[in-house]
Structure 1
Amino acid sequence: MDVSLIKSLKEVEELKVSTENRLFSANNDEIMRGLTTDIYFIKTREILKELNLLQTSVTAEVFAGRAGGMLAGVAEVKNLLKDKNIEVWSLPEGEFFKEKEVVMRIQGKYDDFGIYETAFLGMLASSSGWATASHYIKSLAGNKPVICFGARHVHPAVAPVMEKAAVTGGADGASCILGAKLAGVEPSGTVPHAVFLIVGDTVKVAQAYKTVMPSGSPVIVLVDTFKDEAEEALRVAEALGKDLNSVRLDTPSERGGVTPGLVREIRARLDQAGYPQVKILVSGGVNPERLPGLVEAGADAFGVGSYISNALPIDMTMDIKEINGIPIAKRGRIPGQTQAPRLKRIL
């Protein structure tokens, strides 16, 4: 694909996009070309070109809206802007920021980066929202592992972005293959109810799991498909013995979900039967309201999906604060560079 930057309304008009044989998400080249920008940035360029102001030097600042959080998406923004003739300063990936705090500063000719404002604000806003939610839920779990299971709740185009941001926020792993790899970890997860329903017996699946999984891979078995969870946990523990690492509880909401009482019962029954080493992994609707009670009841690890994936973006705004070195700002904002000593040069 031609990766030349789209620069005019004529090019926009002539752009033909087929809805056949493609996913509707923007691919890498389309984002780099500027095809995900708001049209008003193309109109801006047409006006600046007409007035011979395309090469105007500016200083622009990106700041958080009405909420603080953890910054994520910096690496992606850096990749988007790295071949431009500009200088960029930013808070580091994973750093906390306050409401209205400047998180990034860009200096250079406006025409070299202005078209990407839509894209990089979206990158920072979404990733920071996901990372912040991940950090919060992990802080409640303490030293108990939290794995992001949120890929199924978002469009597949952004699932890897979300799960990478979750790991930035503190999640110990991610189930999405690409998301985990981008975050520098191996994907984590067990197997779904589908395999149990197809096979017809939890113990048979557990035995096959032990046989076919790579050596050293923890054996974690879902125990809520057919029978009472405590009964099924004991059946699997008796069949696998010391080879069983964990049982996973994902009881559906139709049966009340996974409750602290259920976790407490299974922990007691496993201990009484001589399987204190078998851990309990809880998934399905885990959120900040439910997690502390599950921790207290004896849960050892958590799969967290929609709480992270449904996190609202943290709004980001970009303002021009200098033109050709002269302080300026729109009404309501203070002209000139904001004091932001925590910013570090990244480009």
Structure 2
Amino acid sequence: MEEIKSLNDVKNIKIDSKRRLFSANHDEILAGMTTDIYFIKTMEILRHMNISTKEVVAEVFPRKSGVMCGVEEVLSLLQNKNIEIYALPEGETFEPKDTVMRIRGSYEEFGIYETVLLGMMAHPSGWATAARSCREAAGDKTCICFGARHVHPAVAPVMERAAVVGGADNASCILAAKLLGREPSGTIPHAAIIMAGDTVKVAKAYDEIMPPDSPRIILVDTFKDEAEEALNVAMALGKDLEGVRLDTPSERGGVTPELIYEIRKRLDQKGYDYVKIFVSGGLSPERIKILIEAGADAFGVGSYISGATPIDMTLDLKMVDGTPVAKRGRIPGLKDNPKLKRMK
């Protein structure tokens, strides 16, 4: 698919009536089909005026502090362009109005991609920032991203990858983990236990057929009291049981510190002190801290990460043909950031 160059190219775009999904594919993104139309109009005007090839320096800055993510996709987007790119490495922190990316080259080389590259950094940086907050709250405890079900599947791997960049230990989304060179984390949902009608039966089947590197962590909140079921599963699996997972719904009060404390004590009293307590469902950094104090060992965080607000990113042209420029209210010329690294 050819890169969009003109309004005529936009007019000629035809959408297959049998198209099954609404998300943009890679070729459509690279062709510029997800940009705002006014950038195409801008290129038409600049070419008409014979100034589209002027050398510019563009800088991107955020509206609030956070953790940088999305740089790798921007580099892939612009890899065939004759430009220089400087940026913060992924995982690096930034403050409001910091320069997080600088692009130097002919405006015609990258101008139509402003919408795309900003979007590639805005939401991933928001997800990474939320994950960093969870990481800091969890300390040395395991924290895994369980957020794929809360976002459109086209961006689920982008979101969970961003969570790992921000500090999550792993992702449950298969594609996200594979993109990171890892194996996805996760055990079983309530559906398996509901289908079988018995938690212990499912736990035994899991232990029998799953590969050795698949952790034996079993849900214990489906049918019976969580403390009772935790003991039943521990008795059935013995030393093979790595942990029990609590995902008690809000209709039953959710996972409380008191519940975790009781389960920890009851497991310890029966000699199952090696069994960890894994918690998921409605977690936030504040709840993670409280649940750690009660005895929780690991966390699966979903909506707190997946629902994070994008960090608004703005791209300004700061130099045109070597002359410092800026829109009214901004300072002309480059704003240095010692954290910037040459990327391209």
- TM-score class, shorter: over 0.9
In structure 2, what is the equivalent of residue 205 of structure 1?
A: 202
**Structure 2 counterparts to residues 307-318 of structure 1, below 5 A:** 307-318=304-315
Q: CA RMSD in A?
A: 0.9
In structure 2, what is the equivalent of residue 146 of structure 1?
A: 143
Q: Give CA deviations for 1:273-328 in whole Å, capped at 9, x if unaligned.
A: 11000000000001123111110000000000000000001110000011111111
User: Take 1:21 and 1:235, find their aligned partners in 2: how far apart are those partners?
Assistant: 50
In structure 2, what is the equivalent of residue 130 of structure 1?
A: 127
In structure 2, what is the equivalent of residue 238 of structure 1?
A: 235
Determine which of 18, 33, 36 is the counterpart of 2:16.
Answer: 18
In structure 2, what is the equivalent of residue 266 of structure 1?
A: 263
- The reply on whether 1:92 has 2:86 as its aligned counterpart is no
Q: Give CA deviations for 1:175-212 in whole Å, capped at 9, x if unaligned.
A: 00011111232100111000101111100100010011
Moved more, 10-19 or 73-82: 10-19
Which runs of no fewer than 5 residues in structure 2 stay unpaired?
none
In structure 1, what is the equivalent of residue 276 of structure 2?
A: 279
Aligned length: 344
User: Take 1:87 and 1:263, find their aligned partners in 2: how far apart are those partners?
Assistant: 53
Q: Tell me the amino acid that sits aligned with residue 243 of structure 1.
A: D
Determine which of 3, 6, 10 is the counterpart of 1:5.
Answer: 3
User: Take 2:47 and 2:75, find their aligned partners in 1: how far apart are those partners?
Assistant: 26
Determine which of 316, 328, 334 is the counterpart of 1:331.
Answer: 328
User: Take 1:283 and 1:21, find their aligned partners in 2: how far apart are those partners?
Assistant: 36
User: Take 1:132 and 1:317, find their aligned partners in 2: how far apart are those partners?
Assistant: 18
Moved more, 24-33 or 49-58: 49-58
In structure 1, what is the equivalent of residue 51 of structure 2?
A: 53
Q: Tell me the amino acid that sits aligned with residue 172 of structure 1.
A: D
In structure 2, what is the equivalent of residue 188 of structure 1?
A: 185
In structure 2, what is the equivalent of residue 72 of structure 1?
A: 69
- TM-score using structure 1 length: 0.98
- TM-score using structure 2 length: 0.98
Moved more, 140-149 or 182-191: 182-191
User: Take 1:248 and 1:330, find their aligned partners in 2: how far apart are those partners?
Assistant: 54
Q: Give CA deviations for 1:145-181 in whole Å, capped at 9, x if unaligned.
A: 0000000000000000000000000000110001111
- The reply on whether 1:30 has 2:10 as its aligned counterpart is no
User: Take 2:339 and 2:283, find their aligned partners in 1: how far apart are those partners?
Assistant: 35
User: Take 1:338 and 1:293, find their aligned partners in 2: how far apart are those partners?
Assistant: 41
Secondary structure, in 3 states, of the residue corresponding to 1:329? coil
In structure 1, what is the equivalent of residue 165 of structure 2?
A: 168
User: Take 1:150 and 1:197, find their aligned partners in 2: how far apart are those partners?
Assistant: 22
Which runs of no fewer than 5 residues in structure 1 stay unpaired?
none
Secondary structure, in 3 states, of the residue corresponding to 1:113? helix
In structure 1, what is the equivalent of residue 341 of structure 2?
A: 344
User: Take 2:16 and 2:75, find their aligned partners in 1: how far apart are those partners?
Assistant: 30
Secondary structure, in 3 states, of the residue corresponding to 2:286? coil
Moved more, 135-144 or 13-22: 13-22
User: Take 1:151 and 1:8, find their aligned partners in 2: how far apart are those partners?
Assistant: 36
